[in-house]
């Protein structure tokens, strides 16, 4: 197994030749995350060599490899994303193209989502509600399995032992031929997670967790124009909720998710289409006291029918359209039986009038049984100044629809809430050569009617469309590849400057650091791979008045892998928090001290 | 020469100090930095933070975060209430499940009352060398609420008195302690009566829904303010002011959707907060006042009165510093506005 860390910055990947074929194939395989129809956006792609190198949560992976910022309630606890200074429910998260943010709170817990067995993760920063729907304001992240119809038979076993009595196991088997593909994955993790709080006598009490995931992927070629893809996952997480520096905890949270997706792909010489039928089910049980049988719960079901159709008029012009119906239900301790139906449709025109220029114009409208869904529109373009240099720009309007908790939580839910709306624009510059890639971009976003839970009395809170936020920032990415004989060196470095202000208070939002940076240095020689990762997270305010903050921190990780036995066996050693830094992601919730992981991967 | 000079200064100093200590006419030494003034307890952010104490000196100086400054440790999560008793301050830290004991004048920590027998503590009162701490127990369990009885010499729990759901404010009255059963996360409508002699309970007194504050006037009458069930419960009830004289109950009912809070007494006037206004009522009145005191409006998180002044806190957005407003009750004029810590929950007077 070759461990290679390769970042493709699609803004700088040229599609100079065979454009239409590329476009058609891209859209066929990657749907709306296809870089081709995201001309004016940065789409960063993590491939399976990066994703599968270790067993880790999606949040840890994206933090280490993609410079994304997460707020984590201590290691293994609930972890939420903030992309470009936006809120936890302002990043759309997709599983094989299906939106999976919780219908209850609008978020994904990046701590419990296991990323290991997926093939590809696309990270598209910037507004994307037209192609991706509600919530894609700061950006959109798609986690996907790839079905490839070639002869293949492979089984992989991965075992890891780590600090704090942590064990991880993964077994994955795939089989493929010209017309059939099957993959099965079973994985489980458990940990005492009782790391010491550096500088205190406390340890991370009540932080133990265990989880397992089962996944099946099937593909079938009906004929040269039709394929069926089936994806099914079940995940089960059981964790205690850890203490803080000042408060002990006896709480426990259980989560269960089931996802099922059938995708019928039909394509011809000048069109392709995809009909998706999906069922998503989520449930949580919260135990205030883990020894008690009393718990509160919430659950929801989503039934999704989604049809995408793309038509290619000629080499330079295509239309991409979609219509989607989502029927969902929810109930729980604080939710009566509620349901809603949303139907939404979009249209995108892609044109390449000049060899150097491509652009998209798009719009979307939806209707709902509970609220009004705004009409939104967008445009983006990419202009290639030279084969090495290009400029991209985009403008979009976006929305986030209220969640079940916002609308119906008892007590407090507000059924009169409006959709949040957001307008964003971005301009970027990219350079790429064989050895160097550079990209520099700036964006500005204005969000209105953001939903905030506000106190009516000390104990009674209610969500209202009250917050206006202005965000802007600069992002810089750099990649350098260097080869000396058979020694390979690469460096990936990123830096983001983020301002996100509450316009009423004229203060930076809490938990949005101004500065965030990441560097990954990789050395490869024969079967040896060394990967050093250094992260900087600037200080972040913890009060809305910006009077208190958590400190900035540097975090270093190192991974060393050696592949032996005809590339069948890989042994890896990782040291996380190499310099034993005391740091917090959320105030009063210390993160782990220096810790170790031994990883063995066997393929046959 | 130099040595001699030094020695003589030392000698003179010792002599002076000695004579000072024996000088009966000199003012007593100050007991501590926090001897004259009042405290504001700040709950702090829920879960991810610590509550704090703000001190306002009689000369107007405001000092934030005094407990941490003195003791170099966080007070804990959700500072619920504080009671001054003897020369000690008992600071009830709800979500850290402890009561911190400190010197009331210096704020130096003297110990804690904690362990399995302190769960979700709410408030503290004391009689002699015995303390009583109201505890919700497990907040999701309606039947495990209790009053912890504490030996104040050793700061250990010696007994637990089971009570109804959601014990909150307490009042010592002769040989009994009245305990408001506010209802915790739910709603209750009783006042528990504890006999101090043997730590048993008598039949509880049924009052209005959600008794939130209790006080006693100069003539010994007990007053309990009940908020009523809020509208979000789906079974809204009116608030009421309950007067208890020798176990005889008189109820003054508020309007169907009125939910008063924060009862306090100053002189012969009762004060409370309702619908963003402040009302006063004489302890001898036969009905509720119809007009508010103008000039004192506000949706206060907590409110109390002391020596002709009204102290009202505003928790703002609950995610940053709050404020305390002090009004003169003779003129109803705002005297001062003070920035507090996060979620100012009570004002406690030295």
pLDDT band for B22, please (50, 70, 90 cuts): very low
Distance from CA of B151 to the nearest CA of A (A): 24
Average confidence score pLDDT of chain B: 91
Mean pLDDT of B143-167: 96
Choose the mutation target among A246, A286, A289 for the interface with B, i.e. most B CBs under 10 Å.
Answer: A246
Residue of B nearest to A247 (CA): B96
Would the pLDDT of B260 be above 50?
yes
Tell me the mean pLDDT in the region A249-262: 96
Would the CB atoms of B232 and A412 count as touching at under 8 Å? yes
What is the torsional sign of CA B31, B44, B171, B269? positive
pLDDT for the residue B21: 47
A412 and B233 within 8 Å at the Cβ level: the answer is no
Across the range B151-164, mean pLDDT stands at 97
**Closest partner residue to B140 among A289, A457, A587, by Cβ?**
A289
B13 pLDDT more than 50: no
Average pLDDT, chain A: 92
| Amino acid A292: pLDDT | 87
Within 8 A of B96 by CB-CB distance, chain A residues are 246-248
Reply yes or no on whether the pLDDT at B24 is more than 60.
no
Sign of the CA dihedral with A381 first, then A386, A388, and A389 last = negative
Do A324 and A308 form a contact (C-beta atoms < 8 A)?
no
What percent of chain A shows pLDDT beyond 90? Answer: 83
pLDDT for the residue numbered B125: 97
Which residue in chain A has the smallest CA separation from B185? A459
CA distances from A112 to A203, A502, A592, B276 (A): 22, 30, 17, 44
Average pLDDT over residues B2-24: 46
CB of B143 less than 8 A from some CB of A: no
Asked if A457 lies within 8 A of B230 by C-beta distance, the reply is: yes
Q: What percent of chain A has pLDDT over 70?
A: 96
Q: What's the 3-state SS for chain B?
A: CHHHHHHHHHHHHHHHHHHHHCCCCCCCCCCCCCCCEEEEEECCCCCCCCCEEEEEECCCCEECCHHHHHHCCCCCCCEEEEEEECCEEEEEEHHHCEEEEEECCCCCEEEEEECCCCCCEEEEEEECCEEEEEECCCCCCCCCCEEEEEECCCCEEEEEEECCCCEEEEEEECCEEEEEECCCCCCCCEEEEEECCCCEEEEEEECCCCEEEEEECCCCCEEEEECCCCHHHCCCCCCEEEEEECCEEEEEECCCCCCCEEEEEECCEEEEEECCEEEEEECCCCCCCCCCCCCCCCCCCEEEEECCEEEEEECCCCCCEEEEEEEECCCCEEEEEEEEEECEEEEEEC
- The answer to whether A410 contacts chain B (CB < 8 Å) is yes
Closest partner residue to B141 among A245, A292, A457, by Cβ?
Answer: A292
Q: Please determine, for residue B295, whether its predicted confidence score (pLDDT) is greater than 50.
A: yes
Section A271-286 average pLDDT = 96
Q: pLDDT per residue over B308-335, tens digit each?
A: 999 999 999 999 999 999 999 999 999 9
Report chain B residues whose CB lies below 8 A from the CB of A545.
320-321
- Contact check, Cβ <8 Å, A588/B140: no
ipTM value: 0.87
N-term to C-term CA, chain A: 11
Cα A598 from chain centroid (whole Å)? 26
In total, the C-beta contacts within 8 angstroms joining chain A to chain B are: 75
| Cα–Cα distances in angstroms (integers) from residue A328 to residues A90, A304, A340, A370, A409, in the given order | 20, 8, 6, 12, 16
CB A341 within 8 A of CB A368: yes
Disruptive mutation site among B317, B323, B341 for chain A (greatest number of A CBs within 10 Å): B317
Query: Is B138 in contact with A457 (Cβ distance < 8 A)?
Result: no
Could you tell me the end-to-end alpha-carbon distance of chain B, in angstroms, rounded to an integer? 51
Considering only residues A337 and A54, tell me which one the structure prediction assigns the higher pLDDT: A337
pLDDT at A34: 81
CB distance from A547 to chain B under 8 Å? Answer: yes
Cα A173 from Cα A584, distance rounded (Å): 38
pLDDT mean over B241-257:
94
Band (pLDDT 50/70/90 cuts) for residue B27 is low
Put simply, the answer to whether B318 touches A587 (Cβ < 8 Å) is no
Q: Which of residues 160-189 of B touch A (CB under 8 A)?
A: none
Locate the chain B residue with the closest alpha carbon to A410.
B232
Q: Between chains, do A244 and B77 touch, taking CB under 8 Å as contact?
A: yes
Q: Write the burial class of residue B151 (CB in 10 Å: 0-12 exposed, 13-18 middle, 19+ buried).
A: middle
Is B299–A586 a contact, with Cβ atoms under 8 angstroms apart? no
Residues from chain A that touch B74, judged by Cβ atoms under 8 A, are: 245-246
CA dist A239 and A77 (Å) reads 8
For residues A532-554, average pLDDT:
96
Is 50 exceeded by the pLDDT of residue B4?
Answer: no
| pLDDT (tens digit per residue) in A154-210 | 999 999 999 999 999 999 999 999 999 999 999 999 999 999 999 999 999 999 999
- Cβ-Cβ contacts under 8 Å, A589 against chain B: 48
Report pLDDT for B3.
47
Q: Give me the pLDDT at residue A11, please.
A: 29
Distance CA B208, CA B220 (A): 20
* Mean pLDDT computed over A141-162: 94
Does A200 reach chain B within 8 Å, measured CB to CB? no
pLDDT, position B139: 80
Measure B321 CA to nearest chain A CA, in Å: 7
Asked if B289 is an interface residue toward chain A (Cβ–Cβ < 8 A), one would say no
Interchain CB contact of B140 with A (< 8 Å): yes
Q: In this model, does residue A20 exceed pLDDT 60?
A: no
Radius of gyration of chain A (CA): 23
CB-based burial, A289-309: b 16+ in 10 Å, e otherwise: beeeeebeebbbbbebebbbe
- Flag if A244 and B48 touch (Cβ within 8 Å): yes
Within an 8 Å CB–CB cutoff, is residue B135 touching chain A? no
C-alpha B222/C-alpha B243 separation (Å) is 6
Over range B20-25, report the average pLDDT. Answer: 48
Q: Express each pLDDT in A214-240 by its tens digit.
A: 999 999 999 999 999 999 999 999 999
The answer, for A460 touching chain B at a CB cutoff of 8 Å, is yes
> Shortest CB distance from A247 goes to which of B95, B318, B342?
B95
Whether A248 contacts chain B with CB within 8 A: yes
Rounded to whole angstroms, the Cα distance separating A582 from A196 reads 10
- Search chain A and give the residue with CA nearest B314: A458
pLDDT digits (tens, 9 = 90+) for B115-126: 999 999 999 999
Residue B216 banded pLDDT, cuts 50, 70, 90:
very high
- Residues in chain A closer than 8 A to B141 (CB atoms): 289, 292, 294
The whole-number pLDDT of residue A160 equals: 96
A543 interface with B at CB cutoff 8 Å: yes
How far does B197 lie from chain A, in Å, by closest CA?
34
Q: What does the pLDDT look like over A385-402, one tens digit per residue?
A: 999 999 999 999 999 999
Kindly state the average pLDDT of the residues A285-298.
92
The pLDDT assigned to A246 comes to: 94
- Listed in sequence order, the DSSP H helices in A387-442 are 404-408
Asked if the model's pLDDT at residue A297 lies above 80, the reply is yes
Q: What's the confidence (pLDDT) of residue B46?
A: 81
* pLDDT > 70? residue A8: no
pLDDT at residue A447 tops 90 = yes
What is the structure's pLDDT at A471? 96
Nearest to A289 among B48, B76, B138 (CB): B138
- Strands of A288-334 (E only): list them: 296-312, 317-332
pLDDT score at A1:
34
């Amino acid at each position: 197994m070759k461990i290679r860390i390769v970042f493709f910055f699609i803004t700088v990947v040229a599609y100079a030749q065979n454009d239409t074929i590329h476009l058609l194939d891209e859209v066929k395989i990657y749907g709306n995350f296809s870089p081709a129809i995201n001309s004016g956006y940065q789409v960063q792609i993590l491939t399976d060599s990066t994703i599968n190198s270790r067993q880790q949560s999606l949040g840890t992976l994206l933090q280490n490899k993609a410079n994304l910022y997460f707020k984590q309630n201590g290691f293994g606890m609930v972890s939420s994303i903030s992309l470009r200074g936006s809120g936890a429910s302002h990043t759309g998260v997709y599983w094989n193209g299906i939106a999976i943010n919780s219908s209850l709170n609008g978020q994904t817990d990046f701590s419990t989502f296991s990323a290991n067995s997926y093939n590809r993760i696309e990270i598209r920063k910037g507004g994307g509600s037209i192609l991706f729907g509600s919530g894609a304001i700061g950006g959109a992240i798609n986690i996907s399995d790839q079905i490839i119809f070639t002869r293949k038979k492979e089984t992989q076993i991965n075992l890891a032992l780590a600090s704090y009595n942590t064990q991880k196991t993964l077994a994955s088997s795939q089989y493929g031929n010209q017309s059939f593909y099957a993959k099965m994955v079973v994985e489980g993790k458990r940990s005492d997670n009782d790391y010491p709080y550096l500088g205190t006598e406390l340890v991370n009490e009540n932080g133990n967790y265990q989880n397992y995931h089962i996944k099946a992927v099937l593909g079938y070629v009906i004929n040269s124009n039709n394929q069926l893809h089936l994806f099914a996952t079940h995940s089960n997480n059981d964790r205690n909720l850890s203490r803080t520096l000042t408060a002990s905890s006896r709480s426990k949270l259980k989560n269960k998710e089931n996802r099922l997706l059938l995708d019928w792909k039909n394509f011809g010489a000048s069109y392709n289409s995809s009909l998706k039928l999906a069922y998503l089910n989520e449930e949580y049980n919260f135990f205030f006291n883990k020894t008690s049988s009393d718990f509160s719960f919430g659950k929801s079901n989503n039934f999704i029918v989604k049809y995408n159709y793309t038509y290619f008029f000629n080499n330079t012009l295509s239309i991409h359209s979609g219509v989607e119906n989502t029927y969902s239900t929810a109930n729980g301790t604080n939710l009566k039986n509620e349901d809603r139906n949303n139907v939404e449709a979009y249209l995108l025109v892609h044109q390449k009038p000049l060899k150097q220029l491509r652009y998209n114009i798009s719009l979307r409208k939806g209707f709902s049984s509970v609220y009004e869904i705004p009409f939104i529109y967008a445009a983006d373009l990419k202009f290639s100044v030279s084969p090495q240099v290009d400029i991209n720009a985009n403008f979009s309007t976006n929305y986030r629809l209220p969640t079940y908790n916002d609308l119906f939580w008892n007590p407090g839910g507000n059924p009169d809430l409006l959709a949040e709306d957001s307008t964003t624009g971005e301009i970027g510059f990219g350079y790429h050569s064989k050895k160097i890639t550079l990209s520099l971009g700036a964006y500005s976003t204005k969000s209105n009617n953001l939903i905030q839970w506000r106190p009516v009395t000390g104990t009674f809170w209610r969500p209202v469309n009250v917050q206006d936020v202005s965000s802007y920032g600069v992002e810089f990415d750099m990649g350098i590849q260097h080869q000396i004989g058979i020694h390979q060196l690469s460096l990936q470095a990123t830096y983001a400057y983020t301002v996100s202000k509450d316009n009423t208070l004229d203060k930076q939002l809490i938990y949005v650091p101004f500065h965030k940076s990441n560097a990954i240095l990789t050395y490869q020689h024969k079967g040896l791979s060394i990967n050093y990762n250094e992260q900087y997270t600037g200080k972040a305010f913890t009060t809305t008045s910006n009077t208190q903050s958590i400190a900035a921190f540097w975090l270093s990780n190192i991974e060393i892998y050696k592949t032996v036995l005809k590339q069948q066996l890989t042994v890896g050693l990782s040291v996380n928090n190499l310099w034993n830094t005391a740091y917090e992601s959320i105030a009063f919730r210390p993160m782990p001290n220096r810790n170790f992981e031994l990883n063995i991967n066997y393929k046959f | 020469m130099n040595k001699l000079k030094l020695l003589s200064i030392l000698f003179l100093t010792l002599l002076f100090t000695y004579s000072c200590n024996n000088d009966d006419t000199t003012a007593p030494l100050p007991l501590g930095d926090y001897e004259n003034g009042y405290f504001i307890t700040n709950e702090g952010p829920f879960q991810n933070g610590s509550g704090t104490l703000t001190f306002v000196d009689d000369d107007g100086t405001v000092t934030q975060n005094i407990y941490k400054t003195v003791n170099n440790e966080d007070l804990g999560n959700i500072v619920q209430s504080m009671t001054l008793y003897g020369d000690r301050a008992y600071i009830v830290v709800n979500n850290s499940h402890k009561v911190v004991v400190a010197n009331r004048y210096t704020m130096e920590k003297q110990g804690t009352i904690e362990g399995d027998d302190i769960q979700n503590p709410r408030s503290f009162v004391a009689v002699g060398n015995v303390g009583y701490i109201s505890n919700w127990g497990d907040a999701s369990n309606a039947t495990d609420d209790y009053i912890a009885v504490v030996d104040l010499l050793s700061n250990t729990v010696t007994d637990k008195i089971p009570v109804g759901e959601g014990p909150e404010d307490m009042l010592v009255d002769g040989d009994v302690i009245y305990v408001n059963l506010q209802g915790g996360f739910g709603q209750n409508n009783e006042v528990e009566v504890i006999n101090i002699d043997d730590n048993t309970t008598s039949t509880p007194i049924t009052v209005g829904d959600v008794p939130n504050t209790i006080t006693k006037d100069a003539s010994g009458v007990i007053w309990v303010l009940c908020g009523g069930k809020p509208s979000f419960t789906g079974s809204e009830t009116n608030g009421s002011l309950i007067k208890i004289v020798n176990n005889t109950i008189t109820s003054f009912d508020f309007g169907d959707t009125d939910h008063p809070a924060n009862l306090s007494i100053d002189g012969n006037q009762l004060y409370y907060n309702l619908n963003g206004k402040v009302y006063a009522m004489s302890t001898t009145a036969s009905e509720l006042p119809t007009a508010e005191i103008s000039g004192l409006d506000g949706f206060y998180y907590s409110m109390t009165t002391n020596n002709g002044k009204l102290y009202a806190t505003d928790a703002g957005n609950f995610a940053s510093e709050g404020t305390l407003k002090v009004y003169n009750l003779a003129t109803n004029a705002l005297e001062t506005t003070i920035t507090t810590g996060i979620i100012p929950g009570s004002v406690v007077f030295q």
